Amino acid sequence: MGPPRRRPGGGRLMRQAITSVITALAVLAAAASLRYLFVDSSFMRPAALVVLVVVGLGVALRTRTRAVTVLLPVQALGLALALAWLFARDTLWFALPTTRTVERTVELVLQSQDTITSYAAPAPVDAGVTFSLTAIVGLVALTADLAAATAESPTIAGLPVLALYAISAANAQTSLPWHAFAAPAALWLLVLAHQDGDQLRRWVSHVPGHPGEDGEERARRDFTTQGVGLAAAGIALAIAVPTVVPHLPSTYIGDGLRDGTGQSEGGRSRVSLSSEIDLRRSLQDPDPSPVLRYQTDDPSPPPLRVGVATRFVDGRARIGSEISGTVPLGDDDAVGVTRFAQERRTTTVVESKVRAPQLPAPFVARDVQVGAPWSMDSDGVVRVADDAQGYTISYDEPLDETEEVLAAAGDTGAGLQDREEYLAVEPEIAGELAQVLGEVVEPGDSQLESAQAIQSYLRGNDFTYSLELDERLPGEHPISQFLRTKRGYCQQFAATMVHLARAEGIPARFVVGFLPGTGSTQERVVRASDAHAWPELWIDGVGWLRFEPTPGGRAASLPGYSLPQQDTTSSTSTTSSSTTSSATSTSQDAAPVEEADTGTQVQWQRPLLLTLLVVALLAVLPLTALLLRERARRRRGSPQEQVEREWERLVEGLGDLGIDVPPGATPRVSGDHLVQRSGVGGRGTEQMHRVVTTLEGARYAPPGRPEPDEVEQVGRDVDDLLARVRRSRDTGRRVRAALAPPSAIRWWGSLPGRVVDVVTRRR
């Protein structure tokens, strides 16, 4: 018969269950901070459901076993089935995944990737985003539950929880509120307070206590209280200090949008536009005070324009002091836009720190209500005579999808005045621009297709968003520097697209303003760090269209028309003169689509395969150690042999944690040595004594010893001793024991010798 099945005691199971619940709440609290990256928090409901599945499975399974080889795959399978049921229910076959389920999963991941890379925070929440966020939260819950409850290492469980919060903190366009950090931190602190204090006893010196009080309980009381108190003080300081330390006053929003008077109003100086655009100071501005606060009925508000530049000096945009000409509202031809049937939107600015004459506004305004004389120039920039504390602007939603642009083409009589001004290219870089265009734009592409290709090139993986620019070579043009280093921020991306478009024969201009800011339709806040630059390109027959070549979080949303179309067989295309020519066109268009799909698959498959390979390599030694322990545990034999194997399991497990027994020592000497080195405390000393006594009885006592209940007790004592010592070791030792256990290294090291022995014996 095999060894009796050991089950954790009821008290231990209850502690593990409570730990699981608190850890799950910490994960959900950290996940809640993701709502600052998206327009709503609808993803939290499915995320809470998968966390419930993962944690519930863990609590139920630990009543039967504590083997990671059982818990991990079952909880992972439960997570996968929960995701399939929530997001791909129609693809299941009797609740089981199919190949269509896998295809749907890939579609959702790609959809989320497209949304996250196309929109700045707060991004919309579609099915793909909801799936990806739910899967991430579920994986974090699985990892944290394994660490906190199964491995009884709640300290390590804080790492995935912190990582989940860090995703929001690193990508949000403004600092998160204090409670977004305090909630998961406090719950993680509660997990630490709930855990057993065994790992602290090894540092205990004499602590006076009450008469008759057990020393072990004194250690738990004093060190747990002190540890929790220090952790709580650390969290309180992390929250309080940023609110007390004053922010430096902001005097510039770059050199492009700068302080107009040097006088501060309510913590924020008024800002105005200068002739030379350089937005780096704006983007690095730490002051959270708002430049604008506004309300809008637009669920996806566009960026707010402040100034337009057509002239460049040494690669840097310059805004002239002269006005390009005043135009009446509603004269679409005068500002170069196509009037297209869109929904009318209204934005009401309740606070503005932008100094006259600039008035931040969407493109293009249809009605302006402000308590001062105002006008709009031919570039669509709204100007005001006096500083405006608040104002209301109505505008039509701009064109967005390619179909809208194609439908609008030719419907306007708008013509571009001073076309040559928008096509001027500095001669010293004309050759370099032509070389880039030869690699990016296909011969025969339309203006829109060429613009899409240029934008895709600048948003590609070769370019990196960075506020720190590499050093310019002597005499090097800034555009040449950017094309060489491929590092920059919005100003470099926008200026380079303007130059490339002009070199391709597409009129283009440089626009500076603000991103839509953060918040909801009830109130959005724009800060200095939301300063942004982007290009507008003139498409013949349509007018001025906004593009977004800047990648990453500090960019506006991508208009649909600016993205290359996967299906070019649109019904709005010019009808072919014959069925044969139409079929030929469709056939020719099909090839690029297939090639693009293949490229997309390679783009996500290679990182996935590389990640899986790294994970597999890291898992070799831990899985080897687990399999060796499970094989030893399940091996049949007499009670004496079972006790010997439990002793070997204890010695190997402690060896993995850095505590080795003296070579050739007796069990009693080894036990005393292990107790002294491990610091397991009074209860651990009793357990070690029972294990050694049972082992000596199995070796030297008459037949019939030990009894089955003694064997079972030895197994429980070994489990508890290993858990106590594991908790007492520092994090680095636990990580090394988990990733590179010496027992597994020895097994692999002895493998060649064992193979040679087998081959030799067979001969």
pLDDT in tens, 168-177: 777 665 667 7
**Token pair for 99:** 């190949």
Lowest mean pLDDT among 203-217, 273-287, 605-619, 678-692: 203-217
Summarised one tens digit per residue, pLDDT across range 376-406 is 888 888 888 888 888 999 988 888 888 888 7
The sign one gets for the Cα dihedral 230, 236, 238, 241 is: negative
3-state secondary structure of 606: helix
What whole-number distance in Å separates Cα of residue 395 and Cα of residue 390? Answer: 17
Residue 730 tokens, joined: 């520092």
Highest mean pLDDT among 77-91, 249-263, 284-298, 562-576: 77-91
The CA-CA-CA angle for residues 661, 665, 671, to 5°, reads: 55
Q: What is d(CA 29, CA 513) in angstroms, rounded to the nearest whole number?
A: 35
Chain centroid to Cα 515, Å, comes to 21
Q: Which strands sit side by side in the sheet containing 508-514, from one edge to the other?
A: 304-309, 508-514, 531-539, 543-546
- Give CA torsion, residues 335, 338, 344, 350, to 10 deg: -30
Contacts of 92 (CB under 8 A, 6+ apart): 84, 85, 98, 101
Q: Which two three-digit tokens encode residue 725?
A: 């010592």
Question: Do the Cβ atoms of 161 and 188 come closer than 8 Å?
Answer: yes
Nearest in space to 571 (alpha carbons), one of 560, 561, 559, 582:
582
**Tens-digit pLDDT profile for residues 674-717:** 777 776 667 778 888 888 888 888 877 666 667 777 888 888 88
Q: What is the pLDDT of residue 295?
A: 92
Q: Work out the number of other CB atoms within 10 angstroms of the CB of residue 425.
A: 18
SS (H, E, C) 642-676: HHHHHHHHHHHHHHHCCCCCCCCCCHHHHHHHHHH
Residue 439 sits at the vertex; the CA angle it makes with 458 and 539, to the nearest 5 degrees, is 60
Give the residue from 16, 20, 45 showing the smallest Cα distance to 143.
20
Give the integer Cα–Cα distance in Å for 521 and 302: 13
Q: Write down the pLDDT at residue 209.
A: 43
Question: What is d(CA 512, CA 505) in angstroms, rounded to the nearest whole number?
Answer: 22
- Cα 565 to Cα 298: distance, rounded to the nearest angstrom: 26
| Bigger pLDDT: 679 vs 300 | 300
Mean pLDDT over 627-647 rounds to 74
The pLDDT score that the predictor gives to residue 546 is: 94
Sign of CA pseudo-dihedral 439, 445, 446, 448? negative
The DSSP output letter for 318 is E
C-alpha distance across the termini of the chain, in Å? 35
| Digit-coded pLDDT (tens) for 401-420 | 888 887 777 655 457 878 88
Domain boundaries, the chain: 10-195, 257-563, 618-762
> Positive or negative, the Cα torsion across 358, 362, 363, 367?
negative
Number of Cβ within 10 Å of residue 204's Cβ equals 17
CB 604 within 8 A of CB 109: yes
3 state SS of 585: helix
Q: Which of 476, 474, 496, 499 is nearest to 486 (CA)?
A: 496
CB atoms within 10 A of CB 455: 26
Predicted confidence at residue 566, as pLDDT, reads 59
Q: Predicted confidence band at 760 (pLDDT cuts at 50, 70, 90)?
A: confident
| Sign for the pseudo-dihedral over CA of 580, 582, 583, 588 | positive
Cα distance between residue 430 and residue 109, in whole Å: 41
Percent of the chain with pLDDT over 90: 21
| C-beta of residue 517 within 8 angstroms of C-beta of residue 292 | yes
Q: Which of these ranges, 4-18, 22-36, 260-274, has the smallest mean pLDDT?
A: 260-274
Alpha-helical (H) ranges within 360-489 are 402-408, 430-440, 447-458, 478-485
Compute the distance between CA of residue 153 and CA of residue 157 in angstroms, rounded to an integer: 7
Model confidence pLDDT, tens digit, residues 25-76: 989 998 898 888 887 788 999 999 999 999 999 888 888 887 888 888 899 9
Report residue 308: phi and psi, to 5°: -130, 135
What gap in Å lies between CA 667 and CA 289, rounded to an integer? 69
Kindly state the average pLDDT of the residues 662-666: 76
Q: What's the pLDDT at 495?
A: 94
Q: How would residue 671 be classed by pLDDT, with cut points 50, 70 and 90?
A: confident
Contact between 319 and 510 under an 8 Å Cβ cutoff? The reply is no
Q: Is 567 exposed, middle or buried (0-12, 13-18, 19+ CB in 10 A)?
A: exposed
- Residue 236 CB: number of other CB atoms within 10 A? 12
For the cut 60, the answer to whether the pLDDT of residue 534 exceeds it is: yes
Query: Which pair of structure tokens corresponds to residue 741?
Result: 């256990």
What is the overall mean pLDDT for the chain? 76
Alpha carbons 607 and 602: distance in angstroms, whole number = 9
Residue 554 has pLDDT above 80, yes or no: no
* Residue 204 confidence class, pLDDT cut points 50, 70, 90: very low
CA-to-CA distance for 390 and 169, rounded, in angstroms? 31
Residue 530, CA atoms < 13 Å, CB-side half-sphere? 31
What is the predicted pLDDT for the residue at 481?
Answer: 93
pLDDT band at 124 (very low <50, low <70, confident <90, very high): confident
Buried b (16+ CB within 10 A) or exposed e, 9-19: eeebeebbbeb
Q: What angle do CA 534, 535, 541 make, to 5 degrees?
A: 140
Which string of DSSP letters, residue by residue, matches 331-364? -HHHHT-------EEEEEEEEE-BPTTB--B-SS
Q: What mean pLDDT do residues 727-739 have?
A: 72
**Whole-number pLDDT of residue 236:** 59
Q: Which two tokens stand for residue 702?
A: 């008459």
| Length of the chain counted residue by residue | 763
Q: Is cis: bond before 364, omega within 30 of 0? A: yes
Query: For residue 133, how far is the Cα from the chain centroid?
Result: 9
Average pLDDT rounded to a whole number, residues 632-641 = 71
201 band by pLDDT with thresholds 50, 70 and 90: very low
